[in-house]
Amino acid sequence: MILYRLFRLVFRAAMQVFFSRIELEGIDNVPEAGPVLLVPNHTNALVDGLVVGCCLRRPVVMTAKTTLADNPVLAFMMRAANVVTLQRREDARNDREMAKNEDAFGRLLELLAAGQAVCLFPEGKSHSDPGLRPFRTGAARLAMTFVDGEQADKSLPIVPVGIHYQRKSRFRSRAWIGFGEPLDVRAWRRRNPQGDVRALTARLRERVKALTLSFDQRSRSETLLAAADLLSTGGEAPPELGLRPIPRVAEQLRLVHALQNGRARLMAIEPQSVAVLEQRVVAHRALLRQLAVAPHELFLPMHAGRAAFFVLRELELVLLGLPLALWGLINHLLPALLTGSLARKMTRDEDQFATNVIFVSVFLFPLFYSIQTAVAAQFLSAGWLLLYMISVPYCGAYAVSWFDRVRGAYRRSRTYLLWRSRPDLQRALAREGRDILSEIRRLNDLLEAGHGSAA
Amino acid sequence: MLVITATLYLSRLGGMPVERWPEIHLAMLLVYFVLSRWMARGGDEPWVSWVRAGAVIALMFSLYSTLGHAVFVAIPWSGDAALNAIDQWLFGGVPPALRAEAFVTVGRVEFFSFCYGFFIPYLYLSILTGLVGRPDAERQRFVTGFAVLYAISFLGYLFVPARGPIVHNAMEFAAPLAGGTFHGLVVQVIDAAGGPHGAFPSLHVGASAYACLFDLRYNRLRGFTYLPLVVLIAMATVLLRYHYVIDLLAGLLLALMAAVLSHRWMARWEMEKAEAA
């Protein structure tokens, strides 16, 4: 348990550096005690498990494929963190290896009986598909065995979990994790006496799908995400950098879901309007991409006073933060470069990159800290050494946020200058943006009037 | 304002040579009262929050300078001995300002004078960024916190008048502090404001800690940018002999209180306003 907590602390720190923000929703849906089965979607390899484990206060027993234990370091960590390994059919060399799964299932049942939280990925394999993959029946089989078995008096809630990454392999992108309403397996059995493992699996997939973005085509996902981005601007000026309200990933997800539902229903009423609108959204987004302008920057006010205040506020942070950021950079450049390079070499698929960065960094950074401290101890007195040891992680974390802010300020300044030099272009693009918003609202009103609202 | 004005008039009745200070504070009280009535009539008009912010900041600065002069002629006691005794009790007999003498060098005095002096631009920039370019609710929280912090601190200035170790322990230091340009500048500015005064609680620590706490909540990067400076300002106040450590602790406590109270009060006020609407 101590090792689990230590790992959680270290990985939580690593993830807070990798992701600029991890939004949490529905945490109250996870019971604080007693058996619970968590079933998340699986798009970012080991990071998915880390996100679930680090967001919950109660310990979570993770499951992983047996092949991960081939790596001796991972095998040690998995043993220490009480991870239960499962044999996947495609990895098994013979029936004897598959039979080992029965032992693993038995272990999971024991853990549930002891009131633990177990996390199982029903998709079985991490992927980069635009939609959810078919669910395997393991989670449902485990749940039904639990409620039908010796633990007949105990209930077992299954909590569907949705994990969404804005750009899963991009450093300093944002992530969202949502815990859906628990499904009580015993109650479900009572309501569906004929329901079998497949029916429960289908129900779970439905619940997880409602919490994630799932598209049948990648191109459609891009169109809907572009429309949601535009909708989230509300046709208004962007918020000041670093100040609230920060646009939330949850809001974007809600909008995409609403658009997805609305689109499905509108295709039956006004397919032509939907097709034209989608073309306009795609063309508008392509133009913005070409100009490297974010959708909310379309409505950037061209007010000289506001611009002057922006310059003052950002310059204050750029100049005063520079020494701290540089100190952080100097002390972390080598391990950061090495982490990036090793992670890139180890990555064969997009969904492995974040995992590789996080796992390499939790070894490399402490190693470099130890070496740097040992070297510093040769030259510094105890007081200065203590100051050095405090300053290194502080300035490292500071540098990450500082570079984010400088990037944001640079981007906004560039857009401001672009609009300043080409006001007609801003007017035209903003007008088209507002027209698209009006058309989305018109179609929504149409649904609201006759067929129930979409957004 | 009411407590300060009443205390000054009572001092005059008690025979203290308070000159025109009671009338000056009464005038400020009246102006503020009229402004309050005017703002109450304005309701939710956008200008009200700006006038409120301006009035609080103006009053804060005015009182800081008037109290520096008025308190020492109006209050017949000094808090220095008690504050020094608390510091001695806290630090095993020798007050930290005297202990710090062992670490004093010209370079360190100069460095800490720079940090001490940087409080002024930090305060002004914090006020500017706390008021401009942010949602009204946050602006109101910022102003309310500052008002709470300064109002309680001024009561400390009034009833525990103290000039700090630089005056109280002057004979115990081996030598006066020697620095360079920055130290000279700090000494000059303090002399111009009537010499060291208002030691308890330390507003250098209180105001900088409050601004930092506010930023850590609403503009995190700015909060982390200034956090090391806030620590250095606190160290500078002791090393440069302007404050006892108990002043710093009181200032820090007040900053925390102001941050928590302003957040709670404004949240409740906003909720009541939303319910009424």
What confidence tens digit (pLDDT) does each residue in A24-66 have?
999 999 999 999 999 999 999 999 999 999 999 999 999 988 8
Closest chain A CA to residue B220: A242
The answer, for B50 touching chain A at a CB cutoff of 8 Å, is no
CB contact under 8 A, B221 and A405: yes
The answer, for A324 touching chain B at a CB cutoff of 8 Å, is yes
**pLDDT at residue B179, rounded to an integer:** 86
Calpha distance B263→A199 (Å, rounded)? 50
The answer, for B124 touching chain A at a CB cutoff of 8 Å, is no
Q: Between the CA of residue B228 and those of A314, A324, A395, what are the distances in Å?
A: 19, 10, 10
A150 pLDDT higher than 80: no
The answer, for A320 touching chain B at a CB cutoff of 8 Å, is yes
Residue B219 has its nearest CB partner, among A243, A306, A309, at A243
The answer, for B129 touching chain A at a CB cutoff of 8 Å, is yes
CA distance B222 to chain A (A): 7
Please name which of B140, B115, B149, B146 lies closest in space to residue B240, comparing C-alpha atoms: B115
The answer, for B224 touching chain A at a CB cutoff of 8 Å, is yes
Chain A interface test: which of B221, B226, B230 (most A C-beta within 10 Å): B221
A310 pLDDT higher than 90: yes
Q: Between the CA of residue A129 and those of A43, A62, A351, A406, what are the distances in Å?
A: 8, 23, 10, 33
The answer, for B134 touching chain A at a CB cutoff of 8 Å, is yes
Set of chain B residues whose Cβ sits within 8 Å of the Cβ of A402: 221, 225
A220 pLDDT higher than 80: no
A positions 327-386 inside 8 Å of B (CB) = none
Task: Please compute, for residue B98, the number of CA atoms within 13 A of its CA located in the half-sphere on the CB side.
Answer: 18
Set of chain A residues whose Cβ sits within 8 Å of the Cβ of B224: 398, 401
CA distance A397 to chain B (A): 10
Closest chain A CA to residue B122: A316
Mean pLDDT of B164-173: 92
The answer, for A316 touching chain B at a CB cutoff of 8 Å, is yes
CB contact under 8 A, B222 and A317: yes
CB contact under 8 A, A306 and B133: yes
CA distance B62 to chain A (A): 26
Sign of CA dihedral A419, A420, A422, A424: positive
**pLDDT at residue A348, rounded to an integer:** 86
Set of chain A residues whose Cβ sits within 8 Å of the Cβ of B225: 317, 320-321, 324, 398, 402
* Six token digits for residue A440: 């989305």
A333 pLDDT higher than 90: yes
Set of chain A residues whose Cβ sits within 8 Å of the Cβ of B125: 316
* Six token digits for residue B5: 């004005």
Q: How far apart are the first and last CA of chain A?
A: 45
**pLDDT at residue A199, rounded to an integer:** 94
Mean pLDDT of A232-255: 82
Q: Letter for the amino acid at A267? A: M
| Beta-ladder partners of A38 | A119, A159
> Taking all residues of chain B, what is their mean pLDDT, rounded to a whole number?
92
CB contact under 8 A, B225 and A321: yes
CB contact under 8 A, B133 and A320: no
Set of chain A residues whose Cβ sits within 8 Å of the Cβ of B263: none
Set of chain B residues whose Cβ sits within 8 Å of the Cβ of A240: 133-134
CB A235 within 8 A of CB A439: no
CB contact under 8 A, B133 and A240: yes
**pLDDT at residue A288, rounded to an integer:** 96
Q: How confident is the model at residue A269 (pLDDT cuts 50, 70, 90)?
A: confident
Residue B221 has its nearest CB partner, among A240, A242, A310, at A242
CB B248 within 8 A of CB B234: yes
Q: How confident is the model at residue A155 (pLDDT cuts 50, 70, 90)?
A: confident
The answer, for B125 touching chain A at a CB cutoff of 8 Å, is yes
**pLDDT at residue B269, rounded to an integer:** 87
Q: How confident is the model at residue B236 (pLDDT cuts 50, 70, 90)?
A: very high
Closest chain A CA to residue B138: A244
Mean pLDDT of B176-197: 88
Q: How confident is the model at residue A92 (pLDDT cuts 50, 70, 90)?
A: low
The answer, for A396 touching chain B at a CB cutoff of 8 Å, is no
A191 pLDDT higher than 60: yes
pLDDT tens-digit series, residues A350-384: 888 999 999 999 999 999 999 999 999 999 999 99
Set of chain B residues whose Cβ sits within 8 Å of the Cβ of A301: none
CB A139 within 8 A of CB A57: no
Please name which of B81, B248, B100 lies closest in space to residue B174, comparing C-alpha atoms: B100
Q: How confident is the model at residue A152 (pLDDT cuts 50, 70, 90)?
A: low
| Beta-carbon contacts below 8 Å between A and B | 43
**pLDDT at residue B49, rounded to an integer:** 87
pLDDT tens-digit series, residues B84-124: 999 999 998 888 999 999 889 999 999 999 999 999 999 99
Could you tell me if residue A76 is left (phi over 0), alpha (psi between -120 and 50 degrees) or otherwise beta?
Answer: alpha
CA distance A33 to chain B (A): 32
- Greatest mean pLDDT among A262-266, A394-398, B269-273: A394-398
Calpha distance B259→B148 (Å, rounded)? 9
Q: Between the CA of residue A193 and those of A186, A199, A200, A349, B149, what are the distances in Å?
A: 10, 11, 11, 42, 65
Set of chain A residues whose Cβ sits within 8 Å of the Cβ of B135: 243-244
The answer, for A21 touching chain B at a CB cutoff of 8 Å, is no
The answer, for B133 touching chain A at a CB cutoff of 8 Å, is yes
CB B11 within 8 A of CB B74: yes
pLDDT tens-digit series, residues B134-163: 888 889 999 999 999 999 999 999 999 999
CB contact under 8 A, A317 and B225: yes
A176 pLDDT higher than 60: yes
CA distance B207 to chain A (A): 19
Q: Does residue B201 have a cis bond before it (omega within 30 degrees)?
A: yes
Which is more confident, A218 or B54?
B54
Radius of gyration of chain B (CA): 20
CB contact under 8 A, A320 and B226: yes
CB A16 within 8 A of CB A8: no
Mean pLDDT of B166-186: 91
**pLDDT at residue A451, rounded to an integer:** 55
CB B113 within 8 A of CB B185: yes
